Structure 1
Amino acid sequence: MTARREASAPPDLPGYEHVRVLGLGGFADVFLYHQHLPSRDVAVKVLLAGSLDDDVRARFQTEANLMAQLSHHPSIVTIHHAAIAADGRPYLVMEYCSRPGLAERYRAERMSVAEVLRIGVRLASAVETAHRAGILHRDIKPANVLTTDFGWPALTDFGIAATTGPGAQAMGMSIPWSPPELLAERPHGDERSDVYSLAATIYSLLAGRSPFELPGGNNSAQQLVARIERSPLPAIGREDVPPQLQTVLERAMSKHPSRRFPSAVAVARALQEVEAALRLPVTPLDLTDDVPPAALPATGAPADGVDDDATRLRGIALPASAVTTGGEEEAATRARSVVVGRPTLVPPAPSAAPAPTGVPVDAPPRRRTRLAGALAALVVVAAGAAIAYATLGDRGGGGQVAPSESLAPPATGPVAAPVPAPHSLSGTRAADGSVTFTWQNPDPQGGDRYLWGVLTVTGEPTLELVEDATVTVPADRATGEVCIQVSIVREDRASSARPAQGCVP
């Protein structure tokens, strides 16, 4: 069995106390520290000692500078500090997001359409803010969206991001959420590449899988690339997902960039229209200098005579070597929160209509957004809301539109103790080629089950729940080295902070 590498030694940082490991990557590890003054928990991302070449240092410095430029946004992880430890390793001190991130949630639970729409609008606002600053993210995916203590999505990991000037080059991207132009022999992309990955992430939250993944099928890198390049976007497969939302995602993930939404803010407005059509509270745009809507139909093809190049950032040239397929190499500098608590459903809202002032009920608790931006968002969708009201009829008393779900983030309460990972994970290969893995539960409780999956080149295994602490990978799936991950899932759906991983040659 090949053991997963141990975390690097946490550096001794004056004014900080090390608590525990949060995550491991190919070039950096992330630790939880407690800062003494001001007193708070922070996530500290530290470069590995063996990765301190000039290129990696430059990427690390770029990530710190880019995230610092964008830290004011409520849906982008805040950078507090960057420095070099006494042992020579660079580190970033970042906002600690304690709730389960999207990577931990989207395969383990069925996320409501209303919540996904909220997340989509907020992430689109974050991406638009980056684009207006001249920054392309280039690796938007569920694993790079954390969740703040107040339940807001927070985009992180700008480790392979770049400015949009000449000579900007990519260092890697994740195949399942990458657009065709970044997987081509001569990769190239602009802000519409981020639009594709943003939509692919929203699709994953609804479908519980990456867009072109076949459950139980061949999901090798080669097959995924072929589907991304040639296959139509599969239907999400949920009766509660309206056709209008499927249409929005199909346009945003068009094979050719010219047929996509020209900007992230255009995606946000299209999602707002879906909210209005469903008679949900409309999520405001978090933009400090929002502009009027572009003269484009939000969910259809570009209007005749409209030059969508007018709103594009300058293109970037990406080397073919930039494409990665997953694993620790793909997650080289990922700063992701892996502390998993109890997934909290947003409680239903009272039936009363929103306050007549138009002030959104979900103004972010950790930062104030300008009221003008919120009001502009409501004006944008007013026409769509009126049409939806006339079409769907009066569902609430006195002509009021009763939201089916509150936008307000769930109230915070005591943080539950993290669920431990299984230990003593080991496997044996039988004569027929199959591999049987076993493990132990360090703290067994009634109703415990186990979420496991075979690790593949995409880094996104298809997960299954089992009752017993053993699984067998059949021979046809056990060619070569076989690696799995296993988490403990409590009866209340809380799961391990970090899955156990193990391999058999």
Structure 2
Amino acid sequence: MLVESRRIRDRYRLLEPIGGGAMGTVWRAQDEMLGRTVAIKELLLPHDHDEHRTEEAKNRAMREARIAARLQHSHAITVFAVLEEEDRPWLIMEYLPSKSFAVLIQDEPVSVDDAIRIGAQISSALAGAHRVGIVHRDVKPANILVSDDGTAKITDFGISRAIGDVKLTATGEIAGTPAYLAPEVARGEDADFAADVFSLGATLYAAVEGSTPYGTSDNPIALLYKASSGEIEPPTKAERLTPLLERMLATDPADRPSMDEVERELRALLPDAEPGESVLAATVPEAEVAAVAAVPTVPTVPATVAVPPPGEVAAVSPGARKGMIAVGAGAALLCVAVVVAILLVVRQKAPQDTAAPPASSSQSASASVTPPASASPSPAPTSAPTTTPPPTSTPVSPVSSTTSAAQALSAYYALLPSNPAQSWNLLTANFKASRHQTYESYRSFWSQYKSVQATNVKEVGPSKVTATVLYDGGKAENDTFTMVQVNGVWMIDRQG
């Protein structure tokens, strides 16, 4: 059959192969129903057509789609659907015109600045994956795509595993590339979040040093031996990136930073680049990346106007800064004028107009008892800004200053996952900014869960509360929260 006439489900026309690996071939294709370009991964089934292995491969593809679909992030390739055609699965994915990071670094290392830019973007996606319990398990340069404008996205969650899922790899089979494996994984232990941290560190190491931490060898067994022992060559070209790399590549997983910490430290290391200084373009703000990404099969509200959230990875030229300063000054004056006008109106109101409405009996009960809690307030970052204004009403459970911080956290959990509109008001602006959250992304995160439970809610210090969180009956996670009082109401200011 000619490629030009090959179609999947009479909808997707295959145009050309653009990549591949042990698990399948990736095609550039045309979605003729929606008139868009997509990437389609054709899963290669075992040649012997063994029924058990064929079924295992199909299950793996379905699991890949489910896992990848749980992560909606501007620096992760989106999976739209999985189909079965010609007796094998096909994954329909976002198409990003790009080159793999492996191709970009194969001839010579990139600059430290470029490695930091790429690392900041990919760590943000992996941090989002970790917050919803996903371990990638195969972070490496070949699984990072970089577009012409410098946008980087992580792809191929094909061997990733949600915490608590059944392991589908064959007995004795190690999933991952030896040159980038964490020592514990090379020794046969299960991969967890710390393993992703090591693999990202190994990827950035290779980008600036010109070889992997275990050296260069065509013998995978030799690399596997070095990986299992944790023998790495100390970085010599990483400059200001060196301290973080050394922590990410620590032999003991407990000595490595979390992916959230990696993202924060990489952002702190970002250069204030001017146009033309870098071989990679400055990172596109996440909201702008979402506007050019392929639209999912399920209709969504497109982003048309976007402002980069606090901490966004972006470079701004001096001329643009001057314009932004001028606009900012004008906006500040306008805000002052509005505030003054509001104060004048408020002063003319009767005292009862500014009083908070009395709490209902159900509200009082919610604030005075410690009900079963819901999910941890740590939704994965999303790229598109909300078009729905965030709620500003008084929270259902306005926990007063006489309520303990632990009870306040329980009251927050009691609102979820069914009432995100009210629980949103119990998060401080600092918490929302640290997570790059909009109300729309927050609501979307909670909509994927049927039940979330929190137990062992305890105060462990001034304004510090710990809790054990269980998502949909999955593996429990221990979290620490910092609580603050805002106008007499306990609110969540930080997690972790």
Alignment TM class, shorter chain as reference? 0.5 to 0.7
Which one-letter code corresponds to 2:156 in the other structure? D
* Residues 149, 284 of structure 2: 8 Å contact kept: no
* Distance verdict in 2 for CA 1:25–1:350, change over 3 Å: closer
CA distance in 1, matches of 2:167, 2:74: 27
Question: 1:368 and 2:384 equivalent?
Answer: yes
Which one-letter code corresponds to 1:68 in the other structure? A
* Residues 181, 199 of structure 2: 8 Å contact kept: yes
Match of 1:174 among 157, 174, 177: 177
SS of 2:139's partner is coil
SS of 2:93's partner is strand
CA distance in 1, matches of 2:230, 2:157: 29
* Distance verdict in 2 for CA 1:10–1:173, change over 3 Å: farther
Residue-by-residue CA offset, 1:314-336 (whole Å, 9 max, x unaligned): xxxxxxxxxxxxxxxxxxxxxxx
1:147 Cα shift? 2.7
* Residues 125, 286 of structure 1: 8 Å contact kept: no
Which one-letter code corresponds to 1:234 in the other structure? E
1:47 Cα shift? 2.1
CA distance in 2, matches of 1:264, 1:125: 8
* Distance verdict in 2 for CA 1:95–1:284, change over 3 Å: closer
* Residues 34, 40 of structure 1: 8 Å contact kept: yes
Match of 1:266 among 231, 250, 261: 261
1:376 Cα shift? 3.9
* Distance verdict in 2 for CA 1:376–1:166, change over 3 Å: closer
SS of 1:188's partner is coil
Match of 1:30 among 7, 15, 26: 26
Residue-by-residue CA offset, 1:51-81 (whole Å, 9 max, x unaligned): 66111111100001111111x2001101122
1:177 Cα shift? 0.3
Question: 1:126 and 2:125 equivalent?
Answer: yes
Which one-letter code corresponds to 2:43 in the other structure? L
Name 2:415's counterpart in structure 1.
none
Name 1:204's counterpart in structure 2.
206
Name 2:81's counterpart in structure 1.
81
SS of 1:84's partner is strand
* Distance verdict in 2 for CA 1:19–1:178, change over 3 Å: same
CA distance in 1, matches of 2:284, 2:91: 31
CA distance in 2, matches of 1:34, 1:65: 23
Q: TM-score, normalization: structure 2? A: 0.53
Residue-by-residue CA offset, 1:70-99 (whole Å, 9 max, x unaligned): 1x20011011222112x2221111111221
CA distance in 2, matches of 1:229, 1:84: 38
Question: 1:147 and 2:141 equivalent?
Answer: no
- Aligned residue runs from structure 1 range 330-349, under 5 A: none
1:131 Cα shift? 0.9
Name 1:62's counterpart in structure 2.
63
CA distance in 2, matches of 1:286, 1:173: 28
Which one-letter code corresponds to 2:121 in the other structure? R
CA distance in 2, matches of 1:24, 1:212: 25
- Aligned residue runs from structure 1 range 355-394, under 5 A: 355-356=324-325, 367-368=383-384, 376=434
Larger radius of gyration: 2
* Residues 144, 155 of structure 1: 8 Å contact kept: yes
* Distance verdict in 2 for CA 1:61–1:108, change over 3 Å: same
Name 1:252's counterpart in structure 2.
248
* Distance verdict in 2 for CA 1:133–1:110, change over 3 Å: same
1:168 Cα shift? 3.8
1:109 Cα shift? 4.3
CA distance in 2, matches of 1:183, 1:114: 30
CA distance in 2, matches of 1:97, 1:140: 18
* Residues 82, 93 of structure 1: 8 Å contact kept: yes
Which one-letter code corresponds to 1:272 in the other structure? R
* Distance verdict in 2 for CA 1:60–1:113, change over 3 Å: same
Match of 1:18 among 2, 14, 21: 14
* Distance verdict in 2 for CA 1:226–1:182, change over 3 Å: same
Which one-letter code corresponds to 2:67 in the other structure? L
* Distance verdict in 2 for CA 1:139–1:348, change over 3 Å: closer
1:232 Cα shift? 5.1
Residue-by-residue CA offset, 1:446-493 (whole Å, 9 max, x unaligned): xxxxxxxxxxxxxxxxxxxxxxxxxxxxxxxxxxxxxxxxxxxxxxxx
* Distance verdict in 2 for CA 1:37–1:162, change over 3 Å: same
1:11 Cα shift? 5.0
Instruction: State the aligned residue count.
Output: 295
1:106 Cα shift? 1.1
* Distance verdict in 2 for CA 1:135–1:77, change over 3 Å: same
* Distance verdict in 2 for CA 1:353–1:57, change over 3 Å: same
Question: 1:43 and 2:39 equivalent?
Answer: yes
* Residues 100, 141 of structure 2: 8 Å contact kept: yes
* Residues 268, 285 of structure 1: 8 Å contact kept: no
* Distance verdict in 2 for CA 1:10–1:147, change over 3 Å: farther
Percent of residue pairs bearing the same amino acid type: 27
SS of 1:203's partner is helix
* Residues 10, 31 of structure 1: 8 Å contact kept: no
* Residues 145, 155 of structure 1: 8 Å contact kept: yes
Residue-by-residue CA offset, 1:282-313 (whole Å, 9 max, x unaligned): 979979xxxxxxxxxxxxxxxxxxxxxxxxxx
1:135 Cα shift? 1.0
Structure 1 segments unaligned to the other structure (5+ residues): 1-5, 288-346, 359-365, 379-505
Match of 1:350 among 317, 336, 341: 317
1:279 Cα shift? 5.2
Name 2:398's counterpart in structure 1.
none
CA RMSD of aligned residues (A): 3.6
* Residues 10, 18 of structure 1: 8 Å contact kept: yes
Which one-letter code corresponds to 1:176 in the other structure? A
CA distance in 2, matches of 1:29, 1:268: 31
